[in-house]
Amino acid sequence: MITNSAPKLISLFAGCGGLDRGFIDAGFQTIYANDFDTAAQAVYRLNLGEIDGRDILTVDEDEIPDGDILSAGFPCQPFSNAGDRKGVYDSRGMLYKECIRIIEKKMPKVIVFENVKGLLSTKYIDGRKLPEVIVEDLSNIGGTGYSIVYEMLNASDYGVPQNRHRVFFVGIRKDLGKTFVFPEKMPKTEMLTLNHVLCMPDGLPNQVHWEFSPQAMSMVEQISEGGSWKDVPYDRLAPRFQRIRDDMVKYRSPNFYRRFARTEICGTITASAQPENCGITHPTENRRFTIREIARIQTFPDNFLFIDDSTKDIVAMYRVIGNAVPPLLAQRIAEAIFHQVFEDEPVCQ
C-alpha cells in the first residue's frame, strides 16, 4: 500500500515499467518517470500512469521533482553481448552521464543503476573499466557522494523464472552512513520451470505471438524439446550453419535456436526475440512464446497489459518486455533498500 510517507522514486530510462512496478510493489511511489521509446511509453501509461516522453538530453534538472531514490536503466545495447559492443563509443553508451547530471542536482538518498553484464568489461575512453568510472563519478558527486556497491545478479536467484544476468549498482548517500547489502539468494524450486510458468488460466489478455519467418520455422520444426540447432541434420542446415558446424571451436560452440524444456528454467528473454539468439521458442509448439508468456517469464503480473492490435505492436511488445527489469527482481532489491535505508529515515514531502 502506497502512502504519502512512501519513499519517492525518480525513474529515468523507465522503459515499460518493470523496475517501477517492482518498487511500487515494495511500497515506493513513482513521482517522475522518463523514457524516449514510444512503445514503452504507451505500455507505461496503460498500467502505471504518466511518463515524460522527451529525450532526456532536453529535460532540465529543475523540471524533475525532488525524490528519495533515483533509478536508471540507461540503454544497454552498447554494452550487450548480443550487440556490437561499441560501449561508450556509441552515443547511447554515454547517456549515463545524463543520470549523473540529474543526480548532482537532486542528490537523492539512494541511486540504482541496472545494465547488462557486458558493461563490466567495457572500457571507458581513457582506458579505465567503465564500472570504475561510474563508482568514481558517484563517490565524489555533489560534495557528499555515495557509497557504491555493484554486483552481477542472476534473476532466477531471486524468484524470477529466467536465467537472466544483469549488473546492479546501488549507492547510498554518504551522509547517511550506510552501505547497501544485496539480498540473499533464494533456493531454486520447480516453480521456476517453464512447466509452472506456462500453466495459466484461460482468458488472459495478450495471448498472441509473433510468427516465425519461413527460414526460422524450417529450423524450429526439426528441434525437439530441450534441444537446439545441433539437433538438425547437417544436410538440412543452411550453408551458413554448415560452416559453423564445420568449425565449432572457431565459432565458440554457439547454441543457436535453443528450445528450453518444460522442466528447465528459461534463458534470457531478449529485446530482439530472435530464435537464433535466445530461447524464445515454445517447448512443444512450433511458435514463439506469446506476449503473455514472455511477460510471465519476466514476472509481469497477469493484469499488466500490453498492446497487440497489429503485427507492428506485437513486435514492439517483445522488444519492450525484453528490455525490462523483471518486476520481481526489482521488488527484491527495493525491499532490501527500504529495510536498510528508509525504515528509520524521513522521506521527501
pLDDT of residue 346: 80
Report which of 294, 291, 290, 287 is spatially closest to residue 306, judged by C-alpha positions: 291
Helix axes 311-323, 38-47, angle to 10 degrees: 80
Per-residue model confidence as pLDDT tens digits over 303-332: 999 999 999 999 999 999 999 999 999 999
Rounded CA separation 67/33 (Å): 11
pLDDT of residue 91: 43
> Would the pLDDT of 81 be above 60?
no
Rounded CA separation 259/268 (Å): 12
pLDDT of residue 77: 45
pLDDT of residue 204: 97
pLDDT of residue 88: 43
> Would the pLDDT of 90 be above 50?
no
Rounded CA separation 146/173 (Å): 4
Q: What angle do CA 327, 332, 293 make, to 5 degrees?
A: 30
Rounded CA separation 268/294 (Å): 10
From residue 339, alpha-carbon distances to 109, 156, 226, 314, 334 in Å are: 14, 22, 40, 39, 9
Kindly report the number of other CB atoms within 10 A of residue 330's CB atom.
31
Give the chain's mean pLDDT. Answer: 92
From residue 117, alpha-carbon distances to 76, 111, 151 in Å are: 9, 19, 9
pLDDT of residue 344: 79
Average of per-residue pLDDT across 280-297: 98
Q: Which residues are catalytic?
A: 76
Q: What is the dihedral of CA 141, 145, 151, 155, to 10 degrees?
A: -80
DSSP letter, residue 328? H
Report residue 2's pLDDT band, with 50, 70 and 90 as the boundaries.
Answer: low
Per-residue model confidence as pLDDT tens digits over 111-169: 999 999 988 988 887 888 889 999 999 999 999 999 999 999 999 999 999 999 999 99
Rounded CA separation 295/314 (Å): 13
DSSP letter, residue 342? I
C-alpha cell at 130: 567503465
Output 144 or 349, whichever has higher pLDDT.
Answer: 144
